[in-house]
Every structure is written in C-alpha cells, then in structure tokens.
Chain A
Amino acid sequence: MRPFAYERCATSDDALRSGAKGARFLAGGTNLLDLMKLQIETPEQLADISRIGFDSIDETADGGLRIGALVRNSDCAAHARIRRDYPVLARAILAGASGQLRNRATTGGNLCQRTRCSYFYDIAMSCNKRDPDTGCSAIDGQNRNMAILGTSPSCIATYPGDMAVALHALDAVVETEGTGGTSRRLPVRQFHRLPQDTPQKDNALEPGELITCVVLPPPVPGQQGYRKVRDRASYAFALVSIAYVIDVADGIITRADLAFGGVAHKPWHDPAIAQMLVGQRAEAGLIRAAADALLAGAQSFGDNDFKIPLMRRLVTATLSEATGVRA
C-alpha cells in the first residue's frame, strides 16, 4: 500500500470537509483496502466514516424504508421488514460475498464497489478504467466475465454487485450530501453509468459527495426473488443474475420490475421489458419475446458468448416460474 493520511470522522460534516479536500471515504473497506494493497487505488487521504451515524434502518412517512449508508450488509439482510417486504433485497445481499465480508460491507460502499475485471486488477495490463486512455485489454483478451450489454470500445467490464441489482428492481433512491451543503436524491437506476469513453467513472457521484441513505419505496404486492448463476454454489460473483418483483392477477401480468446483474457496467434495467409484459396474459411466447427483447442489443466478445444464451434461459425460467407458465 502507498502511504496515506487517515482521519477518524465523528460526523458527516467532518467527512464532507475531508472529502472536499480530496479524501476518499473509508467505510467497511472490503473493496477499497483490497484495491489499495494492489495499488489500483492510491488515495493520499482516507476519511473513516464508519462512526458518523447513518447506520440505522427507519420507516419513511409513506411506509417505505430508509437504509443508512453505513448499515452493514448483514444487518440489512437480517432486518425483519426487509425480509418480509423486500425479500429480493435480502436474497440479493445473501447471494453475495461471505459472512465475514457482509459483516463489514456497507450499503453505500456496496453501491460503489468496483469491477472485478482481471485486467483492471492487473496493473501490468492496459485498462481504461484504471488508467484512462491506455486501452482495454479485455476486448481481445480473456473476457469470460465481461459485459454483453451497454459496452463501449473503451470498456467491457461489469458491475460486480448483487445488492444493487435488487435495488434497481425495487426502484430505490440514493440520497447524498455534497460539499458546500448540497444534497441530492438520485434514482438508483441513474446512479451507476455505462462506460462510454470515460469508464474510469463508475457512477454519478461527484468528488467528495457522500452517500447518506438508500430509500426504498413502499412495498408492492407480488413475488420477489433473486437468482444468480455462478461458477460455484457460494461465494462467487455472478455470471448472470436477475432480480424480480412480479405480480400476476387472473393470468394477467400486473407488475414486472426486473433488473439484471453480471451483464453490464451497471445493474441493467430496461423499462421496455416491463412495458412488454405488464397488462399481457402470461404465456410462453410472451416470455420468450421479452427475453429476446432484453438481449436484442447484446454483443459478446468470445469467451463470454455463453452469457447471451445463459441469460435468455435464466430470464425464461424465472419469468415462467414466477407467472406459473410452463416454459
């Protein structure tokens, strides 16, 4: 690790002051410290925000939940209201990492976790995300884990997390505070970004901007779940995944809030898919058409060709089960 100055922040004001001076925020540290050991991240100053509060889960006036940015993943997944009303979120968190990591990882930090692209991790290789304008080694390299949707000639890395995929299905809102007393409410679907020609920028946060909470809308009826396909049964990143909130009444789909992991630089949400499904009778042809529409623009790069049919099968199986249709 490169040397850095460390500050224990007592309040969010402390953190924002440090952030304005260029400090990186340290929460659980499970991703940032790993990257610092490999000198992929080389901050000169760390502001430890683990004791500034924002560590509770509270009801909002409309019956939703406000999850503090410093709530640990394990507490979030075990929370009674989240298990009852937002099981897709509990399931997604529990599908990721290990018990030890979930005990440290936080809501805000998890949203900000960086790609696990092997070329991003190898500082001997070119990577536009790590070192802008040096080139992407993955496009013509070993790209089994890479994206199939929304890629650019600059970057084909994926966003690796599970929790955020569920938050996309739930249409959560990220609340932030910025330097100079500004605050923002960002729909999570606008939080992460596609690589375009600036893949070094993972999300919409400005320098020094601090995530304070994630707000869940009031619970909705329907089945919820998270299905993740990976190389081993536990403790592995997704090859592909789906978070779903689906409701069916009298054979008609009344809700189809879907988000997809492992396929893009961000958790993938395509509003056209819900528009195709909602109001229609659940049947196999419709489900196949929705899977085709989701993947119509998919592009693979060799080693990850398998992700396109794998995602098509995952979508078909999940929607069929959730709507009671024989695939």
Chain B
Amino acid sequence: MKTRLVINGQDHEVDADTRVTLLDALRNHLNLTGTKKGCDHGQCGACTVLVNGRRINSCLSLVCSHEGDAVTTIEGIGTPDTLAPLQQAFVSHDGYQCGYCTPGQICSALAMMDEAAAGWPSAVTADLADPVTLSDAEIGERMSGNLCRCAAYSNIVDAIREVAHGDVAHGEAA
C-alpha cells in the first residue's frame, strides 16, 4: 500500500505492507535509522517521533495510517555539525550512557516543551488553571514515557531544564 508523507521537510512515498509500522518504515524503507526500536510496544519511548508537531510512539502506528502527515525524526532536528540546542545540552550534561534512548528522549522533550508552552497540564500540575512551569517534577512526569535503561535520568533532566528555562548558552547551534 502506498503512503505519501513529508519527512523532515521532504516528500516521500512509502510502498509497504499494511502491517509496517511508521517506525519500521523510517528505519527499513527510508534508511532513517536515528529513530530506535526498543520494546516495539509503546512502553519505552525510544521510537518517539513528531507527527504534525506532536510526539507519538512510531512503533504503535501503521505507516499507512499517516497519509499526508508531516513527520520529524531526530535527523530533522540537528546534525552532528549543527546540533540543535537540546542536542548540545544532552552532550554538555552527559544526558546518556549508551545513547540508544537519546533520539527518542530528544524528540519527546522538544514536543513536551511545546505542550507545556501551550499550557497543557500534567498529573503533577497543582492547579489545572495555572500556566505551566517546567519544574524538575514536571519534567520527570512529562518525560515518563521515555525510559533510559542506563538511568541517566538526572542528567537528562539537567539538559532539558537548561533548554526549557532558556539558558541555552551551551546549547546554541554551532
């Protein structure tokens, strides 16, 4: 089945079995292997990409259901030579050990900051009417869909906090 998508700003057409997930289409059909397969069941968040600006688990979505959608993967966020501020912050704060969960962490965190800016509350937001301040508790709750088996969580929170609070001195793209 043919599906047209815009991936990282470029038009693509994927011709794949109906069973192919967005994750497998990215990795196996389009050779965009930055997006990682962890659990393949929506539990670990390694496969997180942005679809029309929103973070989703690409393993729990059929590529054929994304006709016309705009997908952003880690390859669309920055490159080794031109790191996005959040990527630089992960480097600066050592926000990983093995690095396998990192593309998903970064995609998830970028969308999470947009959600917070739009005023979406979370389970730890004290007052549902208040604007959101990304405290460490808020960052932790909102990032709970991204597991890090190396447990680099404290450094991941440091990296996200730095960018979320606008202190991106270390994070400006080169």
Residues of A near any B CB (own CB < 8 A): 1, 3-6, 8, 26, 29-30, 33-34, 37, 46, 48, 50, 74, 77-78, 83-84, 87, 90-91, 94-95, 97-101, 103-104, 233-235
CA distance A98 to B144 in the complex (A): 6
Q: Is the CB of B129 within 8 A of A84?
A: yes
Chain B residues contacting A29 (CB-CB under 8 Å) are: 60-62, 65
Q: Is the CB of A37 within 8 A of B18?
A: no
Q: Is the CB of B57 within 8 A of A100?
A: yes
CA distance A84 to B119 in the complex (A): 13
Secondary structure at the B interface, as helix, strand, loop or mixed, is loop
Q: Is the CB of A37 within 8 A of B40?
A: yes
A-B contact pairs, 29 of them (CB 8 A): A1-B19, A3-B17, A3-B18, A4-B18, A5-B18, A6-B65, A29-B62, A30-B42, A30-B60, A34-B42, A46-B18, A50-B65, A77-B120, A78-B118, A78-B121, A83-B129, A90-B121, A91-B123, A94-B125, A98-B144, A99-B108, A99-B144, A100-B42, A101-B60, A104-B56, A104-B57, A104-B60, A234-B140, A235-B145
B109 to chain A minimum Cβ distance, whole angstroms, is 10
Contacts A1-B19, A34-B42, A99-B112; is A87 near B128 (CB within 8 Å)? yes
Q: Is the CB of B129 within 8 A of A235?
A: no
CA distance A5 to B64 in the complex (A): 11
A101 to chain B minimum Cβ distance, whole angstroms, is 6
CA distance A90 to B123 in the complex (A): 9
Partner of A99, one of B41, B128, B145: B145
Contacts A4-B19, A95-B123; is A101 near B62 (CB within 8 Å)? no
20 A-B pairs besides A4-B19, A34-B42, A101-B57 with CB distance below 8 A are: A3-B19, A6-B62, A8-B65, A29-B60, A29-B62, A29-B65, A33-B21, A33-B61, A74-B54, A77-B121, A78-B115, A87-B128, A94-B121, A95-B123, A97-B145, A99-B55, A99-B112, A99-B144, A101-B42, A234-B144
Interface residues of B in 40-94 (CB under 8 A from A): 40-42, 45, 48, 54-57, 60-62, 64-65, 67
Q: Is B141 an interface residue (CB 8 A)?
A: yes
Q: Is the CB of A235 within 8 A of B41?
A: no
Chain A residues contacting B129 (CB-CB under 8 Å) are: 83-84
Contact with A along B93-121 (1 / 0, CB 8 A): 00000000000000010011001001111
Task: Considering the complex, give the chain A residue whose CB is closest to the CB of B125.
Answer: A94
Chain A residues contacting B119 (CB-CB under 8 Å) are: 78
Contacts A30-B57, A90-B128; is A100 near B45 (CB within 8 Å)? yes
CA distance A235 to B141 in the complex (A): 8
Task: Considering the complex, give the chain B residue whose CB is closest to the CB of A234.
Answer: B144
Chain A residues contacting B65 (CB-CB under 8 Å) are: 6, 8, 26, 29, 48, 50
Q: Is B174 an interface residue (CB 8 A)?
A: no
Contacts A83-B129, A99-B145, A100-B45; is A34 near B120 (CB within 8 Å)? no
B27 to chain A minimum Cβ distance, whole angstroms, is 16
CA distance A95 to B111 in the complex (A): 19
Chain A residues contacting B122 (CB-CB under 8 Å) are: 94
Chain B residues contacting A235 (CB-CB under 8 Å) are: 144-145
B152 to chain A minimum Cβ distance, whole angstroms, is 17
Task: Considering the complex, give the chain B residue whose CB is closest to the CB of A33.
Answer: B60
Chain B residues contacting A95 (CB-CB under 8 Å) are: 123
Chain B residues contacting A3 (CB-CB under 8 Å) are: 17-19
